[in-house]
């Protein structure tokens, strides 16, 4: 019995030990789990810390990158601003250089060498203005060769060139500028380098009933010369036009400048304006070196008596009355032919290529008052009723032409002959050569026999 109890106690102890061992094991396991959890927490904290560090480093890197980008942008902006400033400076320097070049070009033009021609062709050389220019250039410049061409029309006279014919540097050619073959032959064979184109139909009254002749001679003739000038590389082409291309100057103080609008009012002035446009076109398109002149009414020796001053001088000398168109209030500016010749001399040598120059004077007078001056010169001032008669006006009669000549005067020109002196010279010349004009009154009917009705306003 006691043995059994002992065994029971032993077993109980064993069980207690087992339970204790189990508890110990459980505690150990629990400790291990706690340690494991602790380690896991530590690892987790480490990971979290590591992640935080990584994030921090990433933020730092991002900030550094951003700063680098901002710095780079600032540098780029600075460089761009520097480049812009450099470009602005370059543009400013370029503008300054352009202005300097323009000033240099202006100075070169102002100080340019005087043009020296060698072989000059003058058209219409036996006419009024051209004969004076031809004789003057031939005598003043013996080193220039002067070639004069004229078809010898009703209003021209080869005798006007007698003084020029005495010179070795002069040659006269009777011919028509409407012949392109003749023009080309002269320019090529004589090595022409300069053309002074004066030839033209210029009588306004005749243009009203014979306008096609004016178109043919004034426009086509000019075109033929321009084409030759282009082909043979002429160095100067001086085209002589008229103040009438401007049309009416209505206001009292209005003066036409070279930039004024062209508004011709009769077939003559229209043909001259058309010729001018051709001249300017050949300058712009083909670089023909042109100069254009526009002149006031010119008077003096050698002028055919279809114009008012020589016509009335011849009529009064023959004791005939003077027909004044309309009421005689129309105004004109007059310039003596010698002053015009001086203008051509200056423009030939100093005129600027491509430019237009007005040639005129400030002496303005109505047709009626001009007639009264002529009556006084013939001592007929007390007989106005006998020697002044009013006739039908022309189809259109411009009121006045007043021009600004300051552009030409800047080259050193100004008119020198006062009207009083010029008209005395002119009257004396016609008195000395009156035999040349005995039958001039019959010239118009002979030239235009089928135009009698249209010529009524021209009857003397």
**Residues identified as active-site:** 243-244, 268
Question: Which residue's structure tokens are 């321009």?
Answer: 226
With 0-12 CB in 10 A as exposed, 13-18 as middle and 19+ as buried, what is 195?
buried
User: What is the radius of gyration, based on Cα positions, of the chain?
Assistant: 51
Q: Please tell me the distance from the alpha carbon of residue 203 to that of residue 267, in angstroms, as a whole number.
A: 10
Contact between residue 238 and residue 293 where contact means Cβ atoms under 8 Å apart? yes
Q: Which residue has the tokens 């303005």?
A: 364
The closest of 140, 145, 95 to 338, measured between CA atoms, is 140
Q: State the Cα–Cα distance between residues 175 and 170, nearest whole angstrom.
A: 16
CA–CA–CA angle 99, 105, 108 (5° rounding): 145
β-pair type (331-336, 364-366): antiparallel
Phi, psi for residue 317 in degrees, rounded to 5: -65, -30
Spatial distance between the Cα atoms of 300 and 133, rounded to a whole number of angstroms? 13
CA distance 415 to 292: 19
Tokens of 137: 């250039």
62-74 exposure pattern, b = at least 16 Cβ within 10 A, e = fewer: eeeeeeeeeeeee
Please report the beta strands in 161-267, taking only residues with DSSP state E, as ranges in sequence order: 170-174, 194-197, 236-242
Cα of 152 vs its chain's centroid, Å: 35
CB 103 within 8 A of CB 96: no
Q: Comparing C-alpha atoms, which of 455, 300, 327, 317 is closest to residue 387?
A: 317
Residue 326 — left, alpha, or beta (φ > 0 → left; ψ -120 to 50 → alpha)? left
Asked if residues 207 and 267 have their Cβ atoms less than 8 Å apart, the reply is yes
Element (H, E) at 132: helix 128-140
- Cα–Cα distance, 126 to 159 (Å, whole number): 8
Given a contact cutoff of 8 angstroms between Cβ atoms, the answer to whether 312 and 141 are in contact is no
């Amino acid at each position: 019995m006691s043995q059994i109890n002992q065994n029971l106690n032993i077993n109980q102890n064993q069980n207690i030990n087992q339970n204790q061992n189990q508890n110990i094991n459980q505690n150990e396991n629990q400790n291990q789990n706690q340690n494991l959890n602790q380690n896991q927490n530590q690892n987790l904290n480490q990971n979290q810390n590591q992640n935080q560090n990584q994030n921090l480093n990433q933020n730092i890197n991002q900030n550094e990158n951003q700063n680098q980008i901002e710095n780079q942008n600032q540098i780029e902006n600075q460089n761009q601003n520097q480049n812009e400033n450099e470009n602005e400076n370059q543009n400013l320097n370029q503008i300054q250089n352009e202005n300097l070049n323009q000033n240099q070009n202006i100075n070169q033009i102002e100080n340019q060498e005087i043009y020296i021609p060698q072989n000059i062709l003058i058209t219409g050389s036996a006419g009024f203005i051209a004969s004076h220019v031809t004789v003057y250039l031939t005598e003043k410049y013996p080193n220039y060769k002067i070639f004069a061409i004229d078809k010898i029309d009703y209003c021209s006279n080869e005798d006007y060139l007698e003084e020029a014919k005495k010179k070795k540097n002069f040659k006269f050619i009777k011919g028509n500028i409407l012949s392109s073959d003749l023009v080309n032959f002269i320019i090529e064979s004589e090595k022409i380098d300069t053309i002074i184109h004066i030839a033209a139909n210029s009588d306004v009254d005749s243009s009203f009933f014979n306008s096609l002749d004016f178109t043919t001679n004034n426009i086509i003739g000019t075109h033929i010369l321009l084409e030759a000038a282009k082909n043979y590389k002429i160095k100067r082409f001086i085209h002589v036009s008229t103040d009438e291309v401007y049309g009416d100057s209505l206001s009292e103080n209005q003066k036409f400048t070279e930039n004024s609008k062209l508004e011709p009012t009769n077939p003559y002035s229209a043909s001259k304006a058309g010729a001018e446009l051709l001249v300017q076109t050949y300058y712009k398109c083909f670089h023909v070196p042109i100069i254009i002149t526009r002149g006031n009414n010119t008077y003096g020796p050698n002028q055919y008596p279809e114009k008012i001053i020589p016509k009335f001088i011849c009529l009064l000398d023959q004791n005939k009355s003077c027909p004044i168109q309309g009421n005689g209030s129309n105004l004109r500016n007059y310039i003596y032919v010698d002053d015009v010749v001086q203008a051509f001399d200056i423009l030939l040598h100093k005129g600027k290529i491509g430019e237009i120059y007005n040639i005129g004077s400030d002496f303005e007078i109505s047709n009626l008052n001009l007639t009264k001056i002529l009556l006084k010169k013939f001592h007929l001032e007390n007989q106005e009723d006998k020697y002044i008669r009013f006739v039908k006006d022309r189809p259109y009669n411009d009121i006045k032409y007043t021009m600004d000549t300051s552009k030409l005067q800047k080259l050193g020109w100004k008119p020198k002959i006062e009207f009083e002196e010029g008209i005395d010279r002119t009257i004396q010349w016609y008195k000395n050569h009156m035999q040349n004009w005995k039958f001039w009154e019959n010239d118009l009917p002979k030239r235009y026999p089928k135009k009698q009705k249209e010529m009524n306003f021209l009857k003397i």
